[in-house]
Amino acid sequence: MALSTARYQQLSLEGPRHVVVAEGDLDASSAVQLAEALDEPIENGKTHVVLDMTDVGFIDSMTIHVLMGAARELRQRFGRLVLVVHDSNTRRLVEITHLDMLAPMFETREAALRGLLDV
């Protein structure tokens, strides 16, 4: 089974909010690109980031590691990372690794954007 190539789209919003849309499979081979996609808005001063994984079919432990790092970096800047996750396997991995304690999960991008405001 071949994994699909990961792709990222940046959606800058007004103020400190930003959305990164991920597509494909997020694994060790795409970890550097994921880190860069999340670092870009942070380096540009965005502190409230949504990672929309609606079209992601697979994540691995390296992805979890990258997401934990980004969540911690944003917290140090008094910000937040939130995730949009539909896939039940991905949701389960986020929960069992306790990533959801650092980066809460939402069903939709709209709910995630509202969740950025909840502290």
Per-residue model confidence as pLDDT tens digits over 27-73: 999 999 999 999 999 999 999 999 999 999 999 999 999 999 999 99
> Residue 70 and residue 34: Cα distance in Å, rounded?
10
Instruction: Name the percent of the chain in helix, strand, coil, to the closest 5.
Output: 45, 30, 25
The domain 7-115 is placed in CATH, from the list 3.90.1150.10, 3.30.750.24, 3.30.565.10, 3.40.50.300, at 3.30.750.24
User: What's the pLDDT at 67?
Assistant: 98
**pLDDT score of 117:** 78
Judge whether residue 119 has pLDDT over 70: no
The answer on pLDDT for 118 being more than 80 is no
Give the pTM: 0.94
Query: What stretch of H or E contains 118?
Result: none
Res. 1: pLDDT tops 80: no
Task: Please tell me the distance from the alpha carbon of residue 101 to that of residue 44, in angstroms, as a whole number.
Answer: 25
The per-residue pLDDT for range 69-94, each reduced to its tens digit, is 999 999 999 999 999 999 999 999 99
pLDDT given at position 11: 96
| Domain residue spans of the chain | 7-115
